[in-house]
Structure 1
């Protein structure tokens, strides 16, 4: 009996040479997952840091600062992915669909994790942008987001989801 998932696995393993087949299932190297996570984290971090700096500098309530950071993380995360697929020749609408499919789950998880750390570190949100506590907590929050999101991205890529969607247009 044939593997009902074989066409699915064949499609994205052929589209991305970093994926290989083992025992009928795709095996995604950790380096591929880490690279996809780092790409996603780059856009998220730009938005997250910018939001935290703006919110803290303006003296916004912690909830407003978190909302601003999350919104900017999504904007910059999607924009970074769209930049690559737009260069590959996709229309703006198609590039937006690819970015939404590739990054939404990863950004949501990263934002939950890094904002939970920022809110959870006593005094970090109120420390101010000249404080080592603020920057240390922010750096730690992004590290936590990277470490805990990489396995999720590996799992999604192995199923043709997440950044595997982007790789179809870039390879």
Structure 2
């Protein structure tokens, strides 16, 4: 049962049981940060791998970014599917859950971190042995995390994004 549809019985004396607004907000931000961190893990694996491969092969920025984005989606979906499959779900359903849970989050994260990489002068051309490349990539992922967390909070508050995975785990 997901938290959006979970019903708390009324407390004594006819008063509804509601957590303090600050507790609800903190929980929502915590859930959003955890969802974003989960998304960032898959994105970072794909992003780093794509940037490393493209840079090592001497590719220009466009094919390197395309590869990094594609791999970020693959690894992001794979991490979510792994958890859903553990809940005893078939592969097709796990893929549907991953697509519903992660697509918006990964897309936002990828737009942000690649925009930062492209905006930092010399980052894409720096090469794998340069601190500029690695510092820019770490900074890009940090920016993506910070700016994607509110997006995930908004999605979760509407029963979307990682709320789909959360609800699915609790339902099975």
- In 1, the alpha carbon distance for the partners of 2:148 and 2:4 equals 25
Q: Deviations over 1:81-135 (max 9, x none)?
A: 0000000011100000000000000000000000000011000000000000000
- In 2, the alpha carbon distance for the partners of 1:39 and 1:10 equals 21
Task: Tell whether 2:99 aligns with 1:96.
Answer: no
- In 2, the alpha carbon distance for the partners of 1:150 and 1:79 equals 20
Task: Tell me if structure 2 keeps the 8 A contact 1:9–1:159.
Answer: no
Task: Tell whether 2:24 aligns with 1:50.
Answer: no
- In 1, the alpha carbon distance for the partners of 2:38 and 2:71 equals 16
* Structure 1 residue 168 displacement after superposition: 1.2
- In 1, the alpha carbon distance for the partners of 2:39 and 2:150 equals 13
**Over the residues paired in the alignment, what is the CA RMSD in angstroms?**
1.8
TM-score, normalising length from structure 1?
A: 0.86
Structure with the greater alpha carbon radius of gyration: 2
Matches within 5 A, 1:147-158: 147-158=146-157
Structure 1: gaps (5+ residues):
1-7, 15-19
- SS of match in other structure, 2:51: helix
* Structure 1 residue 163 displacement after superposition: 0.2
- In 2, the alpha carbon distance for the partners of 1:156 and 1:139 equals 25
Change (3 A) 1:10 1:38: closer
Give the aligned partner of residue 13 of structure 2. Answer: none
Task: Tell whether 2:22 aligns with 1:35.
Answer: no
Give the aligned partner of residue 83 of structure 2. Answer: 84
TM-score, normalising length from structure 2?
A: 0.85
- In 1, the alpha carbon distance for the partners of 2:48 and 2:36 equals 17
